[in-house]
A and B are shown apart, each in its own frame.
Chain A
Amino acid sequence: MTQVFYVAWRYLAYHRWKTITLVGAITLIVYLPIGLRVLVDQSSRQLTARADATPLLIGAKGSPLELVLNTLYFGSDHPAPTRYAEAMRVTESGLSATIPMYVRFRARGHPIVGTTLDYFDFRGLEVADGRNLAMLGECVLGSRAAESLGAGPGDYVVSSSESVFDIAGVYPLKMRVVGVLEFADSADDDAIFVDVKTAWVIQGLVHGHQDLNRPEAAAGVLGREGNRVIANASVVQYNEITEENLESFHFHGDLSNYPLTAVLVVPPDQRASALLQGRYQSDEDLAQIVTPVAVMEDLLGTILTVERFVVAGAVIVGLATLATAALVFLLSLRLRRRERLTLFKIGGSRLAVASVMASEVVVVLASGALLAAGLTLLTSQFGSLAIRALLRT
């Protein structure tokens, strides 16, 4: 039997390009539908698990999918802003606890997630190194963000400008890293967490600057009318929050008008959830309330439909490829008639010659199947990372 396989192997090795083409074709035929199935299963599990753990979201009226993807996976497309008043509205109703979310800014490609400490409790995130947020201007890194930025407690992360041409807009803020979170195997691992007020500092809504009553600020003061001091934009504003200038940071305007990308709502029971959803049904309301799991199921429905088409296409292509492979083998048998005669003449039995030919087919099919299994294994291991990367973009 060993000799049979040896002869088959030598033949395949000699015709290596034909063998490689056949094995590659078989691999793709087997891998495409199975790998796609694994990927879809994984994405379904991931998407629904995080959406399942997020009861309700409130955001500005617009695309519910954009709202959910930005809040759950910190996608770079941020929805239109809603107001902090929406969080206050729900809290004051007594129906539910709320967690404000402001996911708009980035630092070296990582999302800056402005929220409150309640988010860490809600997602069960623990600090592995350092401590949690305490003062304005501090940040805590997700485990993969810390690795990618090469930063840990005591280091600094600088927020990115939204646009190089936006000279009057968002200035970079130098934020002190105070902690790194434990690996959570979720979108939180790639994020940079700050207090929502620090996110407003990045936007310039909360800011610190020179005391306008001090002599060093005199150059920036245009005039004084009683208790009113008018200054120009040259007043030095701080781009890092330190112990020395922390006291100078203050809010501009009414807190209720401050922007959020979403309000995460955690009602205690179904009744509170239903009551809250009822309150956002008015057409005049500028905010919408969405159930993330329903939005994700809609998305999954679309993905599954696409998957069905892709699998059907793959099966048809597979059948055609198998037919072509069979033809290749049959034609090959015909072309190798003289080779078989030679084998007979040197004493090979009909069975031995048939075994050599069959072994060649088996080796090609087995190699293709093995490679497909390997690719499927890789997909199951790293598919979740690919899905998360896709969701972030």
Chain B
Amino acid sequence: MAVEAGVETGAEGSTLLVYTVSYPLAYFAERIGGDLVRVEFPAPPDVDPAFWSPDPETVAAYQRADLILLNGAGYASWTDRVSLPSSRLVATAAGVADRYVVVEDAVTHSHGPAGEHAHGTIAFTTWLDPTIAVEQARAIRDAFSRARPQDEKAFDEGFAELERDLLDLDGRLSEIVAADPARALLASHPVYQYLTARYGLEMRGVHLEPDEPPSRAAWRDLQVVLEEHPARWMLWEAEPLPATASQLRELGIESMVFSPAGNRSADGDYLSVMEANVRRLATAYRGTPER
């Protein structure tokens, strides 16, 4: 049993202490558990949690949790390099492993007797497909119900509301893309694989950082891509530098932020960030903001 900040956790009938490795999971857990759970997501707000690593003290805090929500699909690889109690781990995307997107251009290497192996061959932003997000939320609901069977009804209600919101998001995205399924798009970074897979987007990825001016080689690579993929919109994880946006505009490409919502945002929660994403995507597809 752990007692922290005056909130008793860990004991039967008390608040369930839940640690997560990503913000979307924290949001889902908060929506499903409400006041019955205390959700902690300790990654600092200014880092990408996919590549963040906790210090031993933070790992110890994870170890004290009643449940530790993992994303799966290789997200937060730091979990492979620390000791966590396996009986309290919940791999939320394990049930949809057959829908994992394999990254074709991952770097592989081989040396010694163990032979060839690759790193990061599976795309991990699973929650960008709202139907996968529903399955992850369902896994969270099931884990909560197993840990606190007496509160199962409340967890079911929290999940039902969240599922409604996520499926609504899915419906709106489908509707937007259906208006012009062949529209060519560019992704500044390879993080939109699940969005692409779910809605059949015509999207090609390049490697540009929003906070760094692209190199000459990057501009040349972009020109090559544009020759066979004449996109007019580029999706960014965050607002690009004004100079980059301006240079892109000269090439006839408009910039649009589609936040992966991987971390807590000052602009709102997961749902409001995704709704803003939907509105901006509607602009790209229809030229006018979505309702």
Binding site for B on A (CB under 8 A): 91, 97-100, 116-118, 121, 131-136, 138, 168, 195, 197, 204-206, 209, 212-213, 220, 227-233, 235, 237, 246-247, 249-253
Contact = CB atoms under 8 A, between A and B. Distances in A.
B59 A229 contact: no
B212 interface: no
B114 A205 contact: yes
Contact of B87 (A118, A138, A209): A118
A135 B81 contact: yes
A251 B122 CA distance: 14
A131 B107 CA distance: 37
Contacts of B215: none
B111 A235 contact: yes
A134 B85 contact: no
A201 to B, nearest CB: 10
B83 A229 contact: no
Interface size bracket, B side? 20 to 34
A168 B112 CA distance: 9
Interface in B98-124: 105-117, 119
Nearest to B116: A228
A246 B81 contact: yes
Nearest to A194: B83
- Chain A interface mostly: mixed
30 contacts: A91-B86, A98-B86, A100-B86, A116-B83, A116-B86, A117-B84, A118-B85, A118-B87, A132-B83, A134-B82, A135-B59, A135-B81, A135-B82, A136-B81, A136-B82, A195-B83, A197-B83, A204-B114, A213-B107, A227-B106, A228-B108, A228-B109, A228-B116, A229-B109, A230-B109, A230-B110, A233-B112, A233-B113, A249-B81, A253-B117
Nearest to B51: A247
A232 B108 CA distance: 14
A181 to B, nearest CB: 15
B63 A134 contact: yes
Interface in B26-47: none
Contacts, number: 95
Nearest to B104: A227
A250 B112 CA distance: 15
Interface string B51-86: 001001001100100000000000001001111111
Nearest 8 A/B pairs, CB to CB: A231-B111, A133-B83, A229-B109, A134-B59, A117-B85, A134-B56, A195-B83, A233-B112
Contact of A197 (B60, B80, B107, B110): B80
Nearest to B117: A252
Given A229-B108, A247-B81, A251-B80, 13 more contacts: A91-B86, A116-B86, A132-B63, A135-B83, A136-B81, A227-B105, A228-B116, A230-B110, A231-B111, A233-B111, A250-B117, A250-B119, A252-B117
A338 to B, nearest CB: 83
Contacts of A249: 80-81
Contacts of A98: 86
A197 B81 CA distance: 8
A13 to B, nearest CB: 66
A131 B60 contact: yes
B64 to A, nearest CB: 10
B56 A131 contact: yes
A135 B105 CA distance: 30
A205 B113 CA distance: 10
